[in-house]
Amino acid sequence: MAKVRGAVVVDKEGCKGCGLCVEACPQQVLGLHRDVNSRGYHYSYMAQPEACIGCSNCGMVCPDTCITIYRVKL
Amino acid sequence: MGELRLMKGNEVIAEAAIRCGCDGYFGYPITPQSEVMETLMELKPWETTGMVVLQAESEVASINMVYGAAGTGKKVMTSSSSPGISLMQEGLSYIAGAELPCLVVNVQRGGPGLGTIQPSQADYFQTVKGGGHGDYRLITLAPSSVQEMNDFVELGFELAFKYRNPAMILTDGALGQMMEKVELADFKPRRTTEEILQTCGSWATTGKTSQRNRNIITSLEMDPFRMEQNNLRFQAKYKELEENEVRYEEIMCDDAEYIIIAFGTSSRICLKAIDLLREKGIKAGLLRPITLFPFPTRIIAERSRQVKGFMSVEMSSGQMVEDIKLAVFDTGRIVPVKYFGRMGGLLPSPGEVVEALENNFLKGN
Amino acid sequence: MDIQDIIKPENLVYQKSKIQVDVISHYCPGCSHGVVHKLISEVIDELGIQEKTIGVSPVGCAVFAYNLIDIDWQEAAHGRAPALATGIARTNPDKVVFTYQGDGDLASIGAAEIVHACNRGENIVVIFINNAIYGMTGGQMAPTTLLGMVTSTTPYGRNVELNGYPLKITDLIAQLPGVSYCTRQSVHTAATVRKCKNAIRKAFKNVMDKKGTSFVEVTSTCNSGWKLSPVESNNWMVENMFREYPQGDLKDVDKLIQQ
């Protein structure tokens, strides 16, 4: 069991579905949703939320700054 | 009475800039105006008033340095001569489009191309019709003496700030190199940061505070409807200039049958020419536009009631003559408008002007 | 533990900087510009210099940078940003002035302005986005386009005889004595983003300390222009761009002084 848990909140409308966060995630938490936002992009979301460690890598590489990250130590 | 000195026109531009509280000069050497920057460098105003003086790598750079500094609300200027002013047209268009105040001095020389270093007035079209791209105008002042070279520095800045528009002193190599007695203005301190914030704080890039939205200096507008609104605002400003800022001088025009219209150096020659014509019993007068934009259209229209003809005397192939024709045309009256001039860096002589007027209007009668 | 128990203000570790304007940018999905804008915003915020900073935006995709970072901005003519920055910095020595320029703007049409501003050691930051292509006009050859690289004006690949060599302008800038810090960074992984942010912070601090010109190249991608996906673009950049544009500091006066 991980010593830290994290959560990412993606601003669904701000996401352009570039997929860079999906690539950057070391825990394979993120994926692109099968649905699209109002501008037609498959937005990023937590496909495996329990695996998130709140490392912030996804936020770092996001060109649209649409990811907010939370982390707790267990 | 201010301090009296015998000075070159170019030198007085530098002296007047320092004395009127100018914040910065950015220039590039070119004959026949290099004394402007040379004088500034010798006077070292950065040690006294704090005025910045910088030799740029090109005229393209110097006008853009002016653009940057003007965007912060500073009182800044550049000077050059015709080929260098051509290089500045891009920057001038941006400055006009971004509605920034600044002063540019063009000490004209003959062209086209590298042309000659001798005086000329062939940049009239470039200056008053907007030499760069897009619908814009430069406030244009045409001095005819070293004294006016001095006076128009402060006046140019005043108008530039009043209308948030670039102003140009359109002079030539003869006035730049000529020495005359000049009464200098007293030193005015540069505006303080607080004064700049007060007068320019609503638009200048003085640093975004929590009290206001960010200020953006740009000429870009992607929405055509909003861009047209910008254009309409510029045109309204130019109209206001035409209403309020026309300046000219009339000499012996009240009873004149023939009016010579000339600005700058050529107007000095025509002053002598109208004396010679009067001696011959020809009722000639001189109308000297001081602002070339806005052009003194109204007084020309008024004078067209009384005269038998106008003659434009220019050191070019005849450029201002077109604006005189337009001024007369709009009245519906039919009054001949003729041109006489010399090119290539030559000045017309008073005798040549007299002869041209006689040939145009009096021969064959 | 429920996700909602993690998403609480006290657990916040990463969010959009308040200097970044809360709008959706005009950039294509995956564009490096967005990351660099974010880093500049974070640095301005962390250094507390919002009121002192004046940005100069270029002509190119970043022309609208002024819509995205909440500071005072001036929008320059193509290539002239270093001249504007010179005028601003010289007459406002208390301000922190930076230019933000692409490879067409800085290395082609503005080559004279950037070389002379850096050579005079103007006290400005230069952020140089090098993605080896003209993005805004539709993917034409840039001075930094690699040999063999296909663009809309080199449809058969960049050819030395026809187009000359890629211009390593950052190497050239590093030679100029007015430049105190010159570095080449990228933003394709979380680690390089962190390094790039440190470089941008150092550049801004140098200007606050009046150390002269600080120049940060960010070797970047243009996935629309390169006709690749954002992830493929990053891989292509690592494999091809880094050979021509090796990463790391080219010059750091602070380190030279220490040695």
In this predicted model, which residue has the larger pLDDT, C255 or C215?
C215
Q: How confident is the model at residue A74 (pLDDT cuts 50, 70, 90)?
A: confident
Distance CA A31, CA A45 (A): 6
Q: How far is C50 from chain A (nearest CA, A)?
A: 19
Assess whether B14 and B122 both reside in one domain.
Answer: yes
Distance CA A60, CA C186 (A): 12
Indicate if the pLDDT at residue A1 is higher than 60. no
Place of tokens 């929405």: B223
Distance CA C147, CA C181 (A): 28
Question: Quick one: pLDDT at residue B364?
Answer: 66
Q: How confident is the model at residue B40 (pLDDT cuts 50, 70, 90)?
A: very high
Convert the pLDDT of each residue in B48-80 to its tens digit: 999 999 999 999 999 999 999 999 999 999 999
Report the DSSP beta bridge partners of residue A30.
Answer: A46
In this predicted model, which residue has the larger pLDDT, C259 or B218?
B218
C210 in a structural domain: yes
Assess whether B116 and B261 both reside in one domain.
Answer: no
- Give the amino acid at C159: N
Number of domains in chain C: 1
Q: Mean pLDDT, to the nearest integer, of C218-233?
A: 97
Q: How far is C228 from chain A (nearest CA, A)?
A: 11
B240 in a structural domain: no
User: Do C7 and A9 lie within an 8 Å CB cutoff?
Assistant: yes
Question: Quick one: pLDDT at residue C259?
Answer: 64
Using a CB-CB distance cutoff of 8 angstroms, which residues of chain B are in contact with residue C83? 56, 60-62, 64-65, 67-68
Distance CA B192, CA B240 (A): 29
| Under 8 Å between Cβ of C124 and C82 | yes
Assess whether B146 and B278 both reside in one domain.
Answer: no
Convert the pLDDT of each residue in A9-29 to its tens digit: 999 999 999 999 999 999 999
Chains touching chain A at 3 or more Cβ pairs under 8 angstroms? Answer: C
C228 in a structural domain: yes
Task: Evaluate whether chains A and C are touching (3 or more beta carbon pairs less than 8 Å apart).
Answer: yes
Q: Mean pLDDT, to the nearest integer, of A59-74?
A: 96
Helices C111-119, B59-71: axis angle to 10 degrees equals 70
Indicate if the pLDDT at residue B365 is higher than 90. no
Q: How confident is the model at residue C202 (pLDDT cuts 50, 70, 90)?
A: very high
Residue C80: which of C62, C98, C61, C56 has the closest Cα? C56
Domain limit, last residue, from B134, B165, B183:
B183
Indicate if the pLDDT at residue B126 is higher than 60. yes
Domain limit, last residue, from B183, B206, B239:
B183
Residue A56: which of C45, C200, C18, C197 has the closest Cα? C197
Separation in Å, CA B131 to CA A55, B112, B184: 57, 14, 32
Assess whether B40 and B126 both reside in one domain.
Answer: yes
> Which CATH number does the domain housing residue B159 bear?
3.40.50.970
| Under 8 Å between Cβ of C114 and C126 | yes
Q: Mean pLDDT, to the nearest integer, of B80-84?
A: 98
Partner residue opposite C70 with nearest CB, options B65, B214, B220: B214
Indicate if the pLDDT at residue B177 is higher than 80. yes
Report the DSSP beta bridge partners of residue B318.
Answer: none
Convert the pLDDT of each residue in B246-281 to its tens digit: 999 999 999 999 999 999 999 999 999 999 999 999
Closest chain A residue by Cα to residue C3: A7
Indicate if the pLDDT at residue B165 is higher than 90. yes
B293 in a structural domain: yes
> How big is chain C, counted in residues?
259
Indicate if the pLDDT at residue A64 is higher than 80. yes
> Which CATH number does the domain housing residue B323 bear?
3.40.50.920
Indicate if the pLDDT at residue B159 is higher than 60. yes
User: Do B57 and C52 lie within an 8 Å CB cutoff?
Assistant: no
Indicate if the pLDDT at residue B351 is higher than 70. yes
| Under 8 Å between Cβ of B314 and B262 | yes
- CA B223 from chain centre, in angstroms, equals 33
Domain limit, last residue, from B153, B183, B213:
B183
Question: Quick one: pLDDT at residue A2?
Answer: 53
Indicate if the pLDDT at residue C258 is higher than 80. no
Closest chain C residue by Cα to residue A2: C1
Among C92, C101, C136, the strongest candidate for a mutation testing the B interface, having the largest count of B CBs within 10 A, is C92
Indicate if the pLDDT at residue C78 is higher than 90. yes
Question: Quick one: pLDDT at residue B309?
Answer: 98
Helices B9-19, B35-43: axis angle to 10 degrees equals 40
- For chain A, give every domain's residue range: 4-73
Instruction: State the DSSP code for C154.
Output: B
Task: Evaluate whether chains B and A are touching (3 or more beta carbon pairs less than 8 Å apart).
Answer: no
B242 in a structural domain: no
B241 in a structural domain: no
User: Do C87 and B65 lie within an 8 Å CB cutoff?
Assistant: yes
- Residue C45 contacts B where some CB pair is shorter than 8 Å: no
Question: Quick one: pLDDT at residue A3?
Answer: 87
Separation in Å, CA B179 to CA B39, B65, B147, B182: 14, 30, 10, 9
| Under 8 Å between Cβ of C187 and C219 | no
Distance CA B277, CA B312 (A): 15
| Under 8 Å between Cβ of B146 and B179 | yes
Using a CB-CB distance cutoff of 8 angstroms, which residues of chain B are in contact with residue C50? 207-208
Closest chain A residue by Cα to residue C18: A65
Assess whether B149 and B11 both reside in one domain.
Answer: yes
In the three-class reduction of DSSP (H, G, I as helix; E, B as strand; rest coil), residue B216 is classed as strand
Question: Quick one: pLDDT at residue B29?
Answer: 98
C20 in a structural domain: no
Report the DSSP beta bridge partners of residue C126.
Answer: C99, C215
Using a CB-CB distance cutoff of 8 angstroms, which residues of chain C are in contact with residue B61? 80, 83, 86, 112-113, 116
Is it true that domain A4-73 has CATH number 3.20.20.120? no
**Structure tokens belonging to residue B86:** 């051509």
| Under 8 Å between Cβ of B315 and B121 | yes
Q: Cβ contacts of residue B258 below 8 Å, gap of 6+?
A: B277, B282, B283, B284, B285, B307, B308, B309, B310, B311, B357, B361
Indicate if the pLDDT at residue C256 is higher than 90. no
Question: Quick one: pLDDT at residue C257?
Answer: 73
B264 in a structural domain: yes
Convert the pLDDT of each residue in A22-49 to its tens digit: 999 999 999 999 999 999 999 999 999 9
- Here the ipTM equals 0.96
Using a CB-CB distance cutoff of 8 angstroms, which residues of chain A are in contact with residue C17? 65
CB atoms within 10 A of CB B280: 12
User: Do C230 and A18 lie within an 8 Å CB cutoff?
Assistant: yes
Number of domains in chain B: 2
User: Do B65 and C56 lie within an 8 Å CB cutoff?
Assistant: no
> How big is chain A, counted in residues?
74
> Which CATH number does the domain housing residue C133 bear?
3.40.50.970
Using a CB-CB distance cutoff of 8 angstroms, which residues of chain B are in contact with residue C86? 26, 54, 56, 61, 65, 68
- CA C119 from chain centre, in angstroms, equals 19
Residue C197: which of C20, C46, C28 has the closest Cα? C46
Assess whether B9 and B135 both reside in one domain.
Answer: yes
Cβ–Cβ pairs < 8 A, chains B and C? 125
CB atoms within 10 A of CB B98: 20
C249 phi/psi in degrees, rounded to 5: -70, 135
C15 in a structural domain: no
Question: Quick one: pLDDT at residue B130?
Answer: 83
Place of tokens 């520095």: B153
Q: Which domain holds residue B112?
A: 4-183
Place of tokens 């025509």: B270
In the three-class reduction of DSSP (H, G, I as helix; E, B as strand; rest coil), residue B250 is classed as strand
Read off the pTM: 0.97
Which residue stretches of chain C are H helix? Answer: 3-6, 32-47, 81-91, 103, 111-119, 160-163, 169-174, 190-208, 223-226, 230-236, 242-244, 253-258
Q: Mean pLDDT, to the nearest integer, of B114-128?
A: 97
Q: Cβ contacts of residue B274 below 8 Å, gap of 6+?
A: B251, B252, B260, B284, B285, B286
Residue C93: which of B63, B52, B188 has the closest Cα? B52
CB atoms within 10 A of CB B364: 5
Average pLDDT, chain A: 96
Question: Quick one: pLDDT at residue B349?
Answer: 98
- CA A49 from chain centre, in angstroms, equals 9
Residue C72: which of C105, C38, C49, C42 has the closest Cα? C49
